[in-house]
Amino acid sequence: MCIFCKIVNGEIPSKKVYEDDKVLAILDLSQAEKGHTLVIPKAHFDTMLDADSQTVSHAFEVASKLANKIKTNLNADGINILNNSYEAAGQTVMHMHIHIIPRYKNDDLKIEFTDHSSLYNLDDVLAEINK
Ligand code: AMP
Ligand code: ZN
């Protein structure tokens, strides 16, 4: 059984932020920023891409509501909501989860996008996606 299934089953302790019959939200142990929370479907899916659309929708709806609550109550200045799917994208725990990361002015967390647009022709990319 994976580590998040064990948390869902109560075999491993966690700091519970929210729970309903489909999802559990807990504080991330790493606390990339204060209030860093994970929304975890109770059913096991290796990645978000393996999960059914109802599970994905519900998990993101909960993430959106919790993001508002966390932003207000922790006086955050912004929020990153993100999902890593597969190792190449930074996924380390192979049980779908959504990160809610509160952001504070002048915090030192780096989530950066490099501009690689010079490498690609957008029409070619579009055609490849829709082939
Ligand atoms: P990811 O890299 O997207 O797979 O994120 C996995 C996250 O799970 C990391 O931010 C870890 O800090 C977090 N994590 C791992 N084990 C635990 C645990 N037992 N309780 C809470 N968070 C955990
Ligand atoms: Zn699992």
Give the pLDDT confidence of 34-75 residue by residue, as tens digits: 999 999 999 999 999 999 999 999 999 999 999 999 999 999
What is the pLDDT at residue 66? 98
**For residues 92-116, average pLDDT:** 97
If one residue of 7, 33, 93 were mutated to test the ligand 1 pocket, choosing by the most ligand atoms within 8 A of its CB, it would be 93
Q: What are the CA-CA distances from residue 66 to residues 34, 49, 99, 125 (Å)?
A: 14, 22, 11, 35
Q: For the chain, how many structural domains are there in total?
A: 1
Pocket of ligand 1 (CB under 6 A): 3, 12, 14, 26, 28-30, 38, 84, 90-93
**For residues 116-126, average pLDDT:** 97
In terms of residue numbers, what domain contains 7? 3-129
How far is it, in rounded angstroms, from Cα 35 to Cα 57?
A: 22
97 is catalytic: yes
pTM of the entire predicted model: 0.97
What is the pLDDT at residue 112? 92
CATH of the domain at 77: 3.30.428.10
**For residues 11-30, average pLDDT:** 98
As a 3-state breakdown, the chain gives helix, strand, coil percent values, each rounded to 5, of 35, 20, 45
46: CA distance to ligand 2 center in Å? 7
Q: Is the dihedral of CA 57, 59, 60, 62 positive or negative?
A: positive
Q: What is the mean pLDDT of the chain?
A: 98
Q: How confident is the model at residue 123 (pLDDT cuts 50, 70, 90)?
A: very high
